[in-house]
Structure 1
Amino acid sequence: MQKTKGDSSFSTNSHNNGKLQEIERHFSEDVLLETVDSTQTYAKKEYKRKYWNQITYIRALHQTEGRGQFDRKWECQSKKNILTTIIFPFFTRKEHLKNVTIIVGYAIVKLFKELYNLNAQLKWMNDILINCKKSVGILVESELIDNKCVLFVGIGINVNWWKEVDQNQLYLELKERVTKALYDLNDFGFEHLRVRMNRILYRRGQLCEFEDSKILQKVYSGILEELNEQGDLVIRDQVNNQRAIVPPNVRLKK
């Protein structure tokens, strides 16, 4: 296991120095693991013993039991994925916990657009598609520990789609942008980003079907309209024109 502490947790080239000064508020540490069952499992297990008062970036080159939302297995090829969990123990806005996943997703979509000029879209509620193919999965879990809300933000990126991608550069940008997104959500809430997030929402304005994420059965259908001011996904029934909020445990079918 390799560790890097302090300033090196963020990219330090001149292009990023301004951002670094803006978001570096707490001590941070990088942890690199050759092999682990799951970065998410490792982070939650080791948090209180090792990482309780800092932002920690845990990256693994290989996972044996990677998992996604609702304990689904995350299939990955060794060293062809960026596999990481960010421990963020400074989140105080509990009313915005439900918004963390989509805020993280938005930050990653912006990264792909600005760094690689890729057409990425956010699929409700924890997938990112590039050219209509799933390329990123996000798993956000939280725990109330010693009166602190601790976020465990798991991210898996399939980098096999582009042989020339610099994984280290992508990882540095990922850490920086996701960390800033978490600070911004905590400081400013969700509403100021709503309009921009709606622009990248996959299948917005289309008739969609939704299914219960655990039993994989259809439970809703309707026109996918928008994310509202609270970050809820709103759909409209074609028959009676009524609007409804999609629960977090319901996902958009392919």
Structure 2
Amino acid sequence: MKTLKNNLNIQEIQNNLKHKHNIEIFDSIDSTNKYLKSKINEKNYGTIVISNEQTNGYGKNNRQFMSNKDVGIYMSILINPNCLIEESLKITILTSVAILSAIKSICNLDVKLKWVNDIILNDLKVGGILCESQINLSTNIIDNMIVGIGINVKEFEFLPSLKNIATSIENNINFKISRNALISEIINFFDLYFIEKANYIDLYKENSYVLGKDIKVIQNDKQFYAKAIDIDDSGSLIVQEQEKIIKLISSDISIR
């Protein structure tokens, strides 16, 4: 058994899992995604790396992700999605629904999902997802993918620059939760959707933070305003710009 003073516990997590996973826990690491990328040829699929702290956590477009000690879940999962590049969004969507399902199961909170990789609680960001892939260029198929998950769990004081942007789970409830229990639930729901192929697209749409809303789309060096009208089975966001219907695969969006 590996127990850290911060109470992250491999045995406690594994005891509550439906499917077996090799789990590694660190007290501090630069980035769980970076670690798995550096060891990708040495690790089995399904390996999960968790750290109590990240000293260089990052998100989409290499934006810094605050990963303070003892207060969050910072984890990465190595998988083989065996899908085309165009289908890779589905893994981010799937992971979002797994996190939503786990938080609702443990905390009964009304979590929303902002396309494509943000977890929203009371209009503030409580977590995010970063999927990084190795692609076989001859087949256009993703051979390896690292699914990075970051969630603010414990109650703590955010920097002034983040107070109107971010929140934590415990900042929205009146009881303490076990990070081990929440990690186990996230993994179990991830396995339900990824391994057991349970439907998740409908849940994503039902809990969307953007569908039906007017949004600003930032795409490369251009931006335009549109209305989010649907999310298709590949995970793409369908928007309407005046009379045009546009399918978004990779863009930054904000609510108007």
| Superposition TM-score, scaled by structure 2 size | 0.79
The question of whether the paired residues in 2 share the 8 Å contact of 1:11 and 1:173 is answered with: no
- Give how far 1:99 is off: 1.1
Alpha-carbon distance between aligned partners in 2 of 1:183 and 1:207, rounded to the nearest angstrom: 35
The answer on 1:157 being equivalent to 2:151 is yes
The answer on 1:232 being equivalent to 2:250 is no
Correspondence for 2:200 among 193, 206, 217: 193
**Corresponding pairs, count:** 226
1:147-186 paired onto structure 2 within 5 Å: 149-160=143-154, 161=168, 162=170, 164-184=176-196
- Give how far 1:167 is off: 1.0
Aligned to 1:116: 107
Alpha-carbon distance between aligned partners in 2 of 1:229 and 1:153, rounded to the nearest angstrom: 19
Indicate the RMSD between aligned Cα atoms, in angstroms: 2.6
- What secondary structure sits across from 2:227 in the alignment? strand
1:1-254 paired onto structure 2 within 5 Å: 2=2, 11-12=14-15, 20=18, 24=19, 28-48=21-41, 50-51=42-43, 53-88=44-79, 90-94=80-84, 96-144=87-135, 149-160=143-154, 161=168, 162=170, 164-184=176-196, 187=197, 192-212=199-219, 219-237=223-241, 239-240=242-243, 242-248=244-250, 250-254=251-255
The question of whether the paired residues in 1 share the 8 Å contact of 2:67 and 2:74 is answered with: no
| Superposition TM-score, scaled by structure 1 size | 0.80
Q: Which amino acid aligns with 2:56?
A: E
- Give how far 1:28 is off: 2.7
- What secondary structure sits across from 1:91 in the alignment? coil
Alpha-carbon distance between aligned partners in 2 of 1:144 and 1:208, rounded to the nearest angstrom: 31
- Give how far 1:180 is off: 2.8
Alpha-carbon distance between aligned partners in 1 of 2:200 and 2:26, rounded to the nearest angstrom: 34
Which protein is richer in helix relative to its size? 1
Percent identical residues: 23
The question of whether the paired residues in 1 share the 8 Å contact of 2:118 and 2:127 is answered with: yes
Alpha-carbon distance between aligned partners in 1 of 2:21 and 2:14, rounded to the nearest angstrom: 13
The question of whether the paired residues in 2 share the 8 Å contact of 1:35 and 1:64 is answered with: yes
Alpha-carbon distance between aligned partners in 1 of 2:53 and 2:201, rounded to the nearest angstrom: 35
The question of whether the paired residues in 2 share the 8 Å contact of 1:57 and 1:175 is answered with: no
Alpha-carbon distance between aligned partners in 1 of 2:193 and 2:37, rounded to the nearest angstrom: 21
